[in-house]
Amino acid sequence: MGQRLPQAEDTQPTKKKVPAHSGEGHRARLRRRLIDGGADALADYELLEYLLFGANPRGDTKPAAKALLDRFGSLAGVLNADPRSLQEVPGVGETAAAALKAVALATRRSARSEVQDKPVLGSWQALLDYLTIDMAHLTVERVRVLYLDTRNRLIIDHHVGDGSIDEAAIHPREVVKKALEIGATAMILVHNHPSGNPEPSRADIQITRRISEAGRLLGIVVHDHVIIGRDGHSSLRAKGLI
């Protein structure tokens, strides 16, 4: 019998397993906690970290998330920050800034939907939530007038202007004229204090009374003047100042 020939060795290279990304397990755990948990499933920095995953699919987003909170002070501060300011934080590019702004916009629209087509006075907490989300972290003073119909439903949320609330920024005659033009029978004045303290100033009280008096002569009621700040809100009606 002849000698058995040695079998040829397999010359094809063995495929090596690609190691999983070192952060994939961490991302999976955050995802599971987010889905299975309640409102407090993730800390603020973890929520930001998760929001940044889409803009940085392979890298570690925790440093950027913590840097954002350090820079802007809170989750709300981050979501309300200017996109250009967001991009000044290391690890936050245009895509990440756009993702954060999209969340902020969705939050505002969701809050606004809770006060649309409903009697505002019967949805007062929803209105305060909407105004706080929209205005508490503004760095400029903004004046708005919520014009209401006979059933106290919102007709229009009118941005009057930016600046200190005096007659240079808000003219009683123009506010009442706008109400007449759109058929409003009531209004709520709103502005914010960038300082964070929502307590009314003497100018806030004076301009409110002037607008109330101008409206009363034409059958238009000023229900309230709400001042929004990072530290809360003030109602001139609740303080007996209207």
pLDDT in tens, 212-222: 999 998 999 99
**pLDDT at residue 234 in the model:** 92
pLDDT in tens, 38-47: 767 788 888 8
Does 197 have pLDDT greater than 60? yes
Strands (E), 101-182: 142-148, 154-162
CA distance 149 to 128: 19
5-14, 28-37, 188-197: the lowest-pLDDT one: 5-14
Burial of 3 (0-12, 13-18, 19+ CB in 10 A): exposed
Are 152 and 119 in contact by the 8 Å Cβ rule? The answer is yes
Query: Which residues are bridge partners to 153 per DSSP?
Result: 119
Q: How many residues does the chain have?
A: 242
Percent of the chain with pLDDT over 90: 34
Closest residue by Cα to residue 229 from 112, 163, 111, 138: 138
pLDDT at 10 over 50: no
pTM (2 d.p.)? 0.69
Say how far apart CA 171 and CA 164 lie, in whole Å.
12
Q: Each residue of 94-153: pLDDT tens digit?
A: 999 999 989 888 888 887 777 777 777 788 888 888 888 888 888 888 899 999 999 998
What architecture does CATH give domain 24-111?
Orthogonal Bundle (1.10)
Torsion sign (Cα): 157, 144, 241, 112 = positive
| Mean pLDDT, all residues of the chain | 83
Question: In terms of CATH, what superfamily is 118-235?
Answer: Cytidine Deaminase, domain 2 (3.40.140.10)
Q: What is the domain partition of the chain in residue ranges?
A: 24-111, 118-235
Q: What is the pLDDT of residue 19?
A: 42
Q: How many CA atoms lie within 13 A of 177 on its CB side?
A: 6
Please say whether the beta carbons of 46 and 65 come within 8 A: yes
> Which pLDDT band holds residue 242 (cuts at 50, 70, 90)?
confident
How large is the average pLDDT for residues 30-38? Answer: 79
24-111 with 118-235: one CATH topology? no
Percent of the chain with pLDDT over 70: 87
